[in-house]
Structure 1
Amino acid sequence: MDKIEVGEVFTISDENEEELEVEVIGTVTIEGTDYVAVSFVEDLQEETDEDIDIFFLKVDQDGDFVAIDSDDEFEKVSSAFDDMVSEEE
C-alpha cells in the first residue's frame, strides 16, 4: 500500500452519491490497520472560528477508504487522534 500523506486531497461520495472533496489532516496506525482523519476541503479553506467536521476512515487491504462500522473501533481511533493532537500542542 502506498503511504497516505497529510494534505492529500481525494473525492468521496456521500449517501446521495454526491461527490465531495476531502483532505487528509492526519494518519495513524493502530494494531496494523491504517486510519485517516479527513475534513471537507471547503471547510478547511474557509477562515472561520467555527469547528470543522472531521471524519475517520479505515484503509482496507486494497488501499481503499472504508467507513468505521463499530463504535469500539471508532472510539479507539478517535482517542488515538486526540492523543496525537495533544502531543503536538
Structure 2
Amino acid sequence: MKRLAVTPMMTLEYNEWWVRRINDNIPKPSQGNSQSIEEHLRVVPSKLEIIRQDFERRNVKFEKKIEQVEEEKMNLRLDMDVQKLEAKKIKKSEK
C-alpha cells in the first residue's frame, strides 16, 4: 500500500483520518466503545414489561400461599372429623 507524503496542502483532519485507517478503506475499531455484541444487542424491557414480570412473580407467590392455606384447611377439617368421632365414642361409652 502506498503512503502519501504529508505536504502543506494536506489538512490536519485529513492526516488524522489517514492515520486511523488500517487497510484499504477499513477504519480501526473504536476503543471507547468496549461493549460486547451481546450487550449492544440486549433488549431493554419497557416499563409495562417490568410491571408484568413483577405481577407474574407476585402471582406465583400468592398461588403457593393459597395452596398452603388450602392444605392447612383440609388438615384442620380432618382434625375436626377425628375430634367429632372421639366425642361420639366418649358419649357412647358414658351411656
TM bucket, shorter chain: under 0.3
Higher alpha-carbon Rg: 2
- Structure with greater strand percent: 1
- Structure with greater helix percent: 2
Which protein, 1 or 2, shows the higher relative CO under an 8 Å CA cutoff with sep ≥ 6?
1
